[in-house]
Amino acid sequence: MPQVNFRMSSERLAFIDRAAEVRGVSRTEFVLRSSEAAAVEVLNERPVITLDDEAWEGFVAALDAPVEPDRAVKERYARRPQWDR
């Protein structure tokens, strides 16, 4: 099994040990859970969407297609602004 080694100050190690004790887990388990949670958070900041060729073409076509405003939008733009009344 691969291994990860850290060098850190005694103060940091004591801080991590206190937190692990509060959680009721070992130092190793605490560091693993904490780093996995941080990794999930970082990776969720940039979700990856995978599309096959057909879906990609449809996506690009939808982005390139002109947008036709609906009735409510047309009515809103047709109104005079309140400051012009």
Query: Which two structure tokens, joined as six digits, stand for 44?
Result: 């969720």
Query: Which two structure tokens, joined as six digits, stand for 26?
Result: 């070992």
Please report the pLDDT score of residue 31 as a whole number: 97
Contact (Cβ atoms closer than 8 angstroms) between residue 56 and residue 70: no
Please report the pLDDT score of residue 28 as a whole number: 96
Residue 85 has pLDDT above 80, yes or no: no
Residue 9 has pLDDT above 80, yes or no: yes
Please report the pLDDT score of residue 82 as a whole number: 86
User: 16-41 burial by CB neighbour count: b if 16+ within 10 A, else e?
Assistant: beeebeeeeeeeeebbeeeeeeeeee
Please report the pLDDT score of residue 59 as a whole number: 95
The one-letter amino acid code at 51 reads L
Task: List pLDDT tens digits, range 25-82.
Answer: 999 999 999 999 999 999 999 988 899 999 999 999 999 999 888 999 999 888 988 8
What pTM did the predictor assign? 0.56
Contact (Cβ atoms closer than 8 angstroms) between residue 20 and residue 29: yes
The pLDDT of 7-18, averaged and rounded, is 97
Neighbour tally for 44: CB within 10 Å = 8
